[in-house]
């Protein structure tokens, strides 16, 4: 409760320390007071009240006129130009109350826009304020307390229970339960041990750690997230660009139409009424506002969306393509058995596995290394090392040639595999396991058998996206047909392609994209970077601590939970519904207002009041996205 109060207090300070926002809030309050004086008949014609109205109208005109002039200098026509002309007409016609109304509307729109941007920024930046200012650093065998700015990469930082981790780093010693909600949106505690990565601003609930600082300051994952979310608001979707172009033409037509009306009617009061109805900037504010709100909403759920254009594309996706390992499955395959072929001894197989795996970052190699470390197998350095993506690893040591990879790859490189051994390998695969075979000098000697686990969230994600209108899920994997078929059956995937090399995946995605329309791809963001780049929308799993993941994708899931995919899609579809609704709201309210003005029902003051009131309709509709109740899917 206290933590929430601190966050709220810092939010209020952020609002009131923003000078332009403070000006608009103060102006709006004065304008409301000015309108209040018109409710008292005896005050309406008091000179002091009249002078106050004129002064406030002039003050309100200044920022609008300045914005219009700046836009025209940059050869852009904005709604501020139309509002400036309307305000100038109110001055000429001494319509001070109308000027107050229109200024109040414009100031309110600016307030909503700035508050939303501040709230979006604050959603992320308040996390930085949770980072400790003082840090305990181990130097020369003793612990010293220093300012956070003194921490450098390589320093050893002491993190005790109740402390927030001040750096991105690696646990050197100790054990702790870490709450990563500030990054992932998930409050479940994660156990951290020696060798595990930890992140800035995450909370040590229990235990103590000694952490080596790998990234500090602006190089941390949290700092990169803040920069990404801030930049996201600058990327416009096509509906925003349509709104911008529409606003420009609408302004031109309104000005020309008002001029023609004045020439025909010579009725300045009528023309002013029309101008005051049409000079609303609600649509120009509400459309981008909706996307900004949606991106901020997603960020609080641990989903980083890089721009409004991505929200728009995601809402239209009808086909998902996904990798298997590390996406549908946990990706932490473990060695469950070592198979011997041709009477080879296990120690020779382990020696060859160490030679081939030690310099590779492929998930199977990482699993082999972890297994061999548990077995306390030494890791000799190979004389030569060559890794070919999609094929395998070739090394030499003391004149011997070693090769590790799939059975088919070994056979393609001239390794002799008899029918009995080939059948044993097929039987292993039939049990839903995979095997990395090992050869020495052209002879199959053994293999490492792996087991991977399906993510429970995969089934839920596929089901829920189909409920949102996705027609097809397609799985691409380098694994064998048996494993691919099992995963496809368990998750209700429509189509799968197995035994693929990286180049095969790229070719298939290009072909699928031609046939399937808007396409989303989900991968791990590093191994699938090229494939992700081909998709209309790309999701990368496991953004925690992976700079390459954040760079490679349109949408990064900071927590490896596929349920965030349908949640993001539902939010995108709701955002587009709100944007379309806002166009209809704007059109209807303007049509009604113009009808009332042409019917003589609305004079300048009534038109200004009507404009002020209806201006809030699409803006309030956009703010609904803050309260969008994204479906909580089953675990």
Question: What are the extents of the domains in the chain?
Answer: 2-126+229-296+571-627, 132-165+168-215, 303-330+454-567, 334-451
| Residue 37 pLDDT | 58
Using the predicted structure, report yes or no on whether residue 168 has a pLDDT greater than 90.
no
Using the predicted structure, report yes or no on whether residue 395 has a pLDDT greater than 90.
yes
Using the predicted structure, report yes or no on whether residue 2 has a pLDDT greater than 50.
no
pLDDT in tens, 462-521: 999 999 999 999 999 887 788 888 889 889 998 999 888 777 888 888 888 888 878 999
More confident residue, 8 or 258: 258
Q: How many other C-beta atoms are found inside a 10 Å radius of the C-beta of residue 290?
A: 30
What is the percent of the chain where pLDDT is above 70? 77
| Residue 317 pLDDT | 93
| Residue 26 pLDDT | 61
Lowest mean per-residue pLDDT among 175-184, 366-375, 431-440: 175-184
Please say whether the structural domain 303-330+454-567 has been given the CATH code 3.40.50.1000. yes
More confident residue, 526 or 453: 453
Q: Which residues have C-beta within 8 Å of that of residue 450, sequence separation ≥ 6?
A: 333, 334, 335, 336, 364, 367, 433, 434, 435, 436
Please say whether the structural domain 132-165+168-215 has been given the CATH code 3.40.50.300. no
| Residue 11 pLDDT | 42
Q: Is 115 left (phi over 0), alpha (psi -120 to 50) or beta?
A: alpha
More confident residue, 617 or 185: 617
What is the percent of the chain where pLDDT is above 90? 19
The residue to which tokens 């005896």 are assigned: 42
pLDDT in tens, 101-118: 777 777 776 776 666 666
Using the predicted structure, report yes or no on whether residue 1 has a pLDDT greater than 60.
no
Using the predicted structure, report yes or no on whether residue 338 has a pLDDT greater than 90.
yes
More confident residue, 444 or 429: 444
Lowest mean per-residue pLDDT among 219-223, 402-406, 493-497, 543-547: 543-547
| Residue 356 pLDDT | 93
402 confidence band (pLDDT: 50, 70, 90): very high
| Residue 496 pLDDT | 92
Tokens of 314: 């995601």
Q: How large is the greatest C-alpha to C-alpha distance in the chain, in angstroms? A: 109
Q: Which residues have C-beta within 8 Å of that of residue 139, sequence separation ≥ 6?
A: 155, 156
Tokens of 233: 């608001």
Answer yes or no: are the C-beta atoms of 444 and 421 closer than 8 Å.
Answer: yes
Return mean pLDDT, the chain. Answer: 79
Pairing of strands 555-557, 537-541: parallel
* Three-state helix/strand/coil letters over 22-67: HHHHHHHHHHHHHHHHCCCHHHCCCHHHHHHHHHHHHHHHHHHHHH
293 confidence band (pLDDT: 50, 70, 90): confident
pLDDT in tens, 60-72: 777 778 877 887 7
Rounded average pLDDT over 238-263 = 72
Q: Give the CATH superfamily of 334-451.
A: Calcium-transporting ATPase, cytoplasmic domain N (3.40.1110.10)
More confident residue, 83 or 591: 591
Using the predicted structure, report yes or no on whether residue 177 has a pLDDT greater than 80.
yes
Q: Which residues have C-beta within 8 Å of that of residue 216, sequence separation ≥ 6?
A: 151, 152, 153, 167, 168
18 confidence band (pLDDT: 50, 70, 90): low
Lowest mean per-residue pLDDT among 50-54, 228-232, 349-353, 405-409: 228-232
Closest CA to 455 of 216, 220, 635, 215: 635
Using CB atoms within 10 Å of the CB of residue 172, give its burial: 0 to 12 exposed, 13 to 18 middle, 19+ buried: middle
| Residue 634 pLDDT | 40
Using the predicted structure, report yes or no on whether residue 233 has a pLDDT greater than 80.
no
Using the predicted structure, report yes or no on whether residue 184 has a pLDDT greater than 70.
no
| Residue 15 pLDDT | 45
430 confidence band (pLDDT: 50, 70, 90): confident
Using the predicted structure, report yes or no on whether residue 133 has a pLDDT greater than 70.
yes
Using the predicted structure, report yes or no on whether residue 93 has a pLDDT greater than 90.
no
Using the predicted structure, report yes or no on whether residue 4 has a pLDDT greater than 60.
no
Using the predicted structure, report yes or no on whether residue 632 has a pLDDT greater than 70.
no
More confident residue, 322 or 332: 322
| Coil, helix or strand at residue 501 | coil
Rounded average pLDDT over 13-20 = 49
Tokens of 414: 């001239």
Pairing of strands 519-523, 537-541: parallel
17 confidence band (pLDDT: 50, 70, 90): very low
Angle at the Cα of 49 from the Cα atoms of 46 and 54, rounded to 5 degrees: 125
Using the predicted structure, report yes or no on whether residue 563 has a pLDDT greater than 50.
yes
Rounded average pLDDT over 121-136 = 63
Rounded average pLDDT over 183-202 = 74
pTM (two decimals):
0.67
431 confidence band (pLDDT: 50, 70, 90): confident
């Amino acid at each position: 409760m206290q933590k929430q109060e601190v966050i709220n207090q810092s939010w209020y300070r952020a609002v009131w320390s923003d000078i332009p926002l403070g000006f608009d809030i103060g102006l709006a309050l004065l304008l409301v007071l000015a309108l209040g004086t018109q409710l008292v008949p005896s005050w309406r014609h008091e000179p002091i009240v009249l002078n106050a109205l004129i002064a406030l109208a002039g003050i309100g005109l200044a920022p609008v006129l300045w914005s219009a002039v700046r836009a025209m200098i940059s050869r852009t026509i904005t709604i501020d130009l139309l509002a400036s002309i309307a305000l100038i007409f109110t001055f000429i016609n001494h319509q001070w109350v109308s000027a107050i109304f229109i200024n109040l509307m414009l100031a309110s729109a600016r307030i909503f826009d700035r508050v939303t941007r501040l709230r979006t920024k604050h959603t992320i930046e308040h996390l930085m304020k949770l980072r400790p200012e003082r840090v305990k650093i181990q130097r020369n065998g003793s612990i010293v307390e220093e300012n956070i700015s003194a921490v450098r990469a390589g320093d050893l930082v002491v993190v005790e229970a109740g402390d927030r981790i001040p750096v991105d780093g690696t646990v050197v010693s100790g054990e702790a339960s870490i709450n990563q909600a500030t990054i992932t949106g998930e409050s479940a505690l994660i156990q951290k041990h020696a060798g595990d990565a930890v992140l800035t601003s995450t909370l040590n609930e229990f235990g103590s750690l000694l952490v080596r600082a790998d990234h500090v300051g602006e190089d941390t994952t949290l700092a990169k997230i803040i920069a990404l979310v801030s930049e996201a608001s600058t990327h416009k979707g096509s509906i925003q660009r349509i709104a911008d172009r529409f606003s420009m033409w609408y302004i031109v037509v309104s000005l020309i139409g008002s001029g023609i009306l004045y020439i025909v009617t010579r009725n300045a009061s009528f023309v002013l009424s029309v101008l005051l109805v049409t000079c609303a900037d609600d649509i120009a504010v509400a459309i981008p506002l909706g996307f900004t709100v949606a991106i901020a909403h997603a960020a609080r759920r641990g989903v980083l969306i890089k721009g409004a254009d991505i929200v728009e594309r995601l809402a239209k996706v009808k086909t998902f393509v996904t990798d298997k390992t590390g996406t549908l499955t946990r990706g932490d395959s473990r060695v469950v058995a070592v198979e011997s072929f041709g009477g080879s001894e296990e120690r020779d197989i382990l020696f060859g596995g160490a030679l081939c795996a030690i310099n590779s970052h492929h998930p199977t190699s990482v699993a082999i290394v972890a297994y061999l470390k548990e077995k306390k197998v030494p890791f000799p350095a190979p004389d030569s090392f060559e890794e070919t993506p999609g094929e395998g690893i070739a090394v030499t040591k003391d004149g011997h040639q070693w090769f590790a990879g799939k059975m088919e790859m070994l056979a393609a490189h001239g390794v002799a595999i008899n029918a009995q051994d080939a059948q044993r390998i097929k039987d292993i695969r039939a049990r839903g396991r995979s095997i990395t075979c090992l050869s020495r000098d052209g002879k199959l000697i053994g293999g490492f058998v792996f087991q991977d686990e399906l993510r429970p969230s995969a089934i839920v994600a596929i089901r829920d996206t189909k409920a949102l209108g996705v027609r097809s899920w397609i799985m691409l994997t380098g694994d064998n047909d048996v494993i691919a078929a099992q995963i496809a059956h368990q998750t209700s995937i429509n189509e799968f392609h197995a035994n693929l090399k990286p180049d095969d995946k790229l070719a298939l995605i290009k072909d699928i994209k031609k046939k399937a329309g808007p396409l989303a791809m989900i991968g791990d963001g590093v191994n699938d970077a090229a494939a992700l780049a081909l998709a209309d929308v790309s999701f990368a799993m496991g953004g925690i601590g992976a700079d390459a993941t954040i760079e490679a994708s349109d949408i990064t899931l900071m927590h490896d939970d596929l349920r965030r995919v349908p949640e993001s899609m539902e939010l995108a579809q709701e955002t587009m519904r709100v944007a379309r609704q806002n166009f209809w709201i704007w059109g209807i309210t303007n049509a009604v207002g113009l009808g009332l003005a042409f019917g003589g029902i609305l004079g300048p003051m009534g038109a200004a009041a009507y404009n002020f009131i209806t201006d809030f309709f699409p803006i309030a509709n956009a703010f609904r996205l803050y309260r969008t109740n994204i479906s909580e899917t089953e675990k």
